[in-house]
Amino acid sequence: MPCSEHVNDLATVVLYARDSQQGNLVIGHIAVPVLRVRQAMREEGWYEMRTQKGEVVSSPTGKSSILVRFFWIDHAKDWSEQSRSEGKEPSGIQKENQVFM
């Protein structure tokens, strides 16, 4: 997810159930502020799944949760370090920051 200019956005994970009759059914989602991931360089934990309306998804044993880990990777830093060591602009490396899960 490129986010050099999207630090006020949310990094979102959507969990689907595959159904041969109805296609992909949304079970729920989580959303984490990109800025929070950027400031801490990573974000991880158990997150409650929410419906499209923002309600907590229930399960037979209580609430539905998912364990997720987000990382902030600074490609601009990687690019400048590699560029200096090689004395040229590397190919195939994006000069943007991204959040990975």
State residue 95's pLDDT score. Answer: 41
Residue 22, domain member (yes or no): yes
Look at the chain and report how many structural domains it folds into: 1
Q: Write out pLDDT tens, residues 33-81.
A: 988 988 898 899 999 999 888 899 988 888 888 899 988 887 655 555 5
Contacts of 2 (CB under 8 A, 6+ apart): 94, 96, 97, 98
In a domain, 89, yes or no: no
pLDDT recorded at residue 74 = 73
- What does the pLDDT read at residue 22? 83
Q: What is the pTM of this model?
A: 0.59
> DSSP letters along 36-56, please?
HHHHHSEEEEEEE-B-TTSPB
Residue 101 located in a structural domain: no
Residue 87 lies in a domain: no
**Average pLDDT score over residue span 80-89:** 56
